């Protein structure tokens, strides 16, 4: 289900407002997490709670106390000085001691379950080396980890790792969901994310800083009337396919066909093919013939290359008023040719840019690691610089149209394979051709692409070996399984 994501500043504001109104959020969080653990782990489970002096540590101490009072064998491993504990955590420490609990200085690898309450959403520095070494020790031991609010060392706003972080199988996050749990390295470290709203009324929450996009119904613009024909669903022109790269635009065209576009023409820069035997519905032509024909939507870039002929294709397409998806080599040409970048910015109809992190770095003139350190900021910067809707691909794909940000809530590592970007471009173009706005087509296309991989992974659990060609059929299946709104 699509829902709001709150950054750390907003989350702290909600927390402070609720506490000022009398809500005992630490008590609620600790009890909720303890009850969740108690319903899933037997009483003979040996549990250690990793605690720090901040409020996240107070949550952990409250969990530890409730579990101990419930008959569990619980240890608390406290890092840092108890004198530095926040006021709520100092109170939780007092209650822990009253319950007969103690603080352990040494780490015990014999425990079965680790509850991570060391660093919360307020982490503002890299994790120090001694703690980093402890994280490695925990992970090497094979102990299961449950994180409270966010895995320690993970940035709640960006999903970047602050030097080191602790991998969790499950994250119990409080008040509301966080962006960093769903993009960059967040999904690898957070595992399954469960949200505990701590009984805060919905009307006490702001709208959210952005959304996790997980639609549950088919958008109305895709629901078909009986009295229609192929022309009702748009004509797409795809340009690319330099010598040796013909497969890329063909994959894009096949994806566009199976996501509902009415007609697709593919213009090839390289030696032309007469027919695509796997998809004879595609109409193939030379690029020069294609770009002089009318189309409802354009896709430029799959296998385009960076030749003078490729540059000329973009010079012709960029000023045109029809919706345009820019992918692959077309993105690299924008990054390296000021004239093309200016033509993109001057468009009256916003284009959709679909870069992976390295392409995004070229477009912004920075290093790839800088993109991954803050993917939300990078997507916003690209949207502003080029006046476009941006699809920043990767784990937790970010979509930004300059006003609104979303993180995609579908997909898995199976999509890390050649040709997946080509079919995503074709899918987005197909949705544009069927009447979606650029932002809607980008968000929904990315979601369906990820949902296809999720559907495939139900059969192939290790997520190894999904090809782009296979993904197309799974995408069509995932799309048609969505109920009508």
pLDDT tens digits along 337-370: 999 999 999 999 889 999 999 999 999 999 999 9
Q: For the chain, report the end-to-end CA distance as a whole number of angstroms.
A: 14
Q: Does 152 show up as a binding residue in the annotation?
A: yes
Q: Does 100 show up as a binding residue in the annotation?
A: no
Over 80: is that where the pLDDT of 133 sits?
A: yes
* Total tally of structural domains belonging to the chain: 2
Is the CB of residue 195 less than 8 Å from the CB of residue 173? yes
Q: Does 393 show up as a binding residue in the annotation?
A: yes
Are residues 24 and 73 part of one domain?
A: yes
Is the CB of residue 11 less than 8 Å from the CB of residue 121? yes
Q: Does 396 show up as a binding residue in the annotation?
A: yes
Q: Does 91 show up as a binding residue in the annotation?
A: no
Instruction: Give the integer Cα–Cα distance in Å for 218 and 92.
Output: 47
Q: Does 292 show up as a binding residue in the annotation?
A: no
- Is 215 a domain residue? no
DSSP H or E stretch at residue 324: strand 324-326
Q: Does 55 show up as a binding residue in the annotation?
A: yes
Q: Does 394 show up as a binding residue in the annotation?
A: yes
What domain range is 71 assigned to?
Answer: 3-208
Instruction: Give the integer Cα–Cα distance in Å for 446 and 451.
Output: 9
Q: Does 225 show up as a binding residue in the annotation?
A: no
Backbone phi, psi, residue 325, to 5°: -100, 125
Q: Does 70 show up as a binding residue in the annotation?
A: no
| pLDDT, mean of residues 149-174 | 98
Is the CB of residue 170 less than 8 Å from the CB of residue 194? yes
Q: Does 260 show up as a binding residue in the annotation?
A: no
Are residues 286 and 192 part of one domain?
A: no
Are residues 292 and 388 part of one domain?
A: yes
CA trace torsion 125, 126, 129, 131 (10° rounding): 80
Give the DSSP letter string of 239-254: EE--TT-THHHHHHHH
pLDDT tens digit sequence for 380-389: 999 999 999 9
**Beta strand pairing status for 398-400 and 113-117?**
unpaired
Q: Does 120 show up as a binding residue in the annotation?
A: yes
Instruction: Give the integer Cα–Cα distance in Å for 103 and 479.
Output: 53
pLDDT at residue 105, rounded to an integer:
82
Are residues 245 and 182 part of one domain?
A: no
- Is 214 a domain residue? no
SS3 405: strand
What CATH number is given to the structural domain containing 110? 3.40.50.10260
Q: Does 421 show up as a binding residue in the annotation?
A: yes
- Is 64 a domain residue? yes
Q: Does 473 show up as a binding residue in the annotation?
A: no
pLDDT at residue 273, rounded to an integer:
85
Cβ-proximal residues to 188 (8 Å cutoff; 6+ apart), any chain: 167, 395
Are residues 418 and 350 part of one domain?
A: yes
Are residues 250 and 173 part of one domain?
A: no
pLDDT at residue 107, rounded to an integer:
83
Are residues 301 and 253 part of one domain?
A: yes
Are residues 171 and 256 part of one domain?
A: no
Q: CA 186, 8, 62, 21 torsion: positive or negative? A: negative
Cβ-proximal residues to 177 (8 Å cutoff; 6+ apart), any chain: 3, 4, 5, 6, 193, 195, 212
Are residues 346 and 304 part of one domain?
A: yes
| pLDDT, mean of residues 236-244 | 97
Over 80: is that where the pLDDT of 38 sits?
A: yes
Last residue in a domain, options 166, 184, 208: 208
pLDDT at residue 460, rounded to an integer:
98
CA trace torsion 461, 467, 471, 474 (10° rounding): -50
- Is 33 a domain residue? yes
SS3 213: strand
Angle between helices 375-386 and 357-364 (to 10 degrees): 50
Closest CA to 245 of 270, 217, 282, 215: 270
Instruction: Give the integer Cα–Cα distance in Å for 162 and 126.
Output: 4
Q: Does 419 show up as a binding residue in the annotation?
A: no
Over 80: is that where the pLDDT of 272 sits?
A: no
% residues pLDDT > 90 (the chain): 96
Are residues 182 and 141 part of one domain?
A: yes
Are residues 283 and 195 part of one domain?
A: no
Are residues 90 and 50 part of one domain?
A: yes
Backbone phi, psi, residue 400, to 5°: -140, 130
């Amino acid at each position: 289900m699509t829902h709001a994501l709150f950054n750390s500043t907003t989350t702290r504001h909600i927390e402070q407002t609720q506490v000022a109104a009398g809500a005992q959020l630490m008590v609620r969080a600790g009890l909720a997490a303890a009850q969740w653990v108690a319903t899933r782990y037997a009483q003979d489970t040996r549990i250690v709670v990793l605690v720090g002096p901040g409020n996240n540590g107070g949550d952990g101490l409250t969990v530890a106390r409730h579990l101990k009072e419930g008959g569990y064998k619980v240890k608390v491993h406290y890092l840092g000085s108890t004198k530095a504990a926040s006021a709520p955590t100092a109170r939780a420490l007092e209650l822990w001691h009253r319950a007969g609990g103690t603080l352990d200085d040494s780490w015990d690898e014999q425990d079965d379950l680790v509850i991570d309450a060391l660093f919360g959403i307020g982490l503002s520095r890299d994790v120090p080396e001694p703690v980093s070494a402890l994280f490695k020790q925990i992970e090497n031991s094979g102990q299961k980890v449950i994180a409270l609010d966010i895995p320690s060392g993970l940035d709640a706003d960006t999903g970047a790792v602050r030097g080191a972080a602790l991998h969790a199988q499950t994250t119990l996050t409080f008040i509301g969901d966080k962006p960093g749990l769903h993009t960059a390295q967040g999904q690898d470290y957070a595992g399954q994310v469960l949200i505990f709203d701590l009984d805060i009324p919905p009307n006490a929450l702001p709208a959210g800083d952005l959304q996790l996009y997980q639609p549950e119904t088919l958008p109305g613009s895709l629901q078909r009337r009986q009295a229609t024909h192929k022309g009702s669903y748009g004509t797409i022109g795809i340009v690319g396919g330099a010598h040796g790269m013909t497969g890329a635009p063909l994959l894009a065209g096949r994806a566009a066909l199976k996501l509902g576009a009415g007609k697709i023409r593919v213009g090839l820069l390289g030696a032309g093919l007469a027919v695509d035997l796997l998809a004879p519905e595609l109409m193939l032509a030379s690029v020069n013939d294609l770009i002089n024909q009318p189309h409802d939507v354009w896709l430029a870039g799959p296998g385009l290359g960076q030749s003078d002929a490729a540059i000329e294709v973009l010079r012709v397409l960029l000023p045109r008023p029809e919706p345009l998806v820019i992918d692959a080599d077309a993105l690299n040409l924008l990054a390296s040719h000021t004239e093309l970048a200016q033509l993109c910015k001057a468009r009256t109809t916003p284009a959709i840019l679909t870069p992976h992190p390295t392409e995004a770095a070229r477009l912004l003139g920075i290093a790839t690691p800088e993109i991954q350190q803050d993917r939300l900021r990078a997507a916003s910067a690209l949207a502003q610089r080029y006046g476009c809707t941006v699809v920043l691909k990767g784990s937790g794909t970010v979509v930004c149209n300059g006003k609104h940000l979303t993180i995609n809530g579908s997909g898995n590592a199976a999509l890390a394979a050649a040709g997946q970007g080509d079919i995503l471009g074709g899918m987005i173009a197909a949705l544009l051709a069927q009447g979606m706005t650029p932002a809607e087509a980008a968000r929904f296309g990315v979601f369906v692409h990820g949902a296809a991989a999720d559907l495939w992974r139900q059969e192939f659990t290790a997520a190894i070996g999904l090809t782009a060609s296979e993904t197309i059929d799974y995408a069509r299946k995932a799309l048609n399984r969505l109920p009508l709104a």
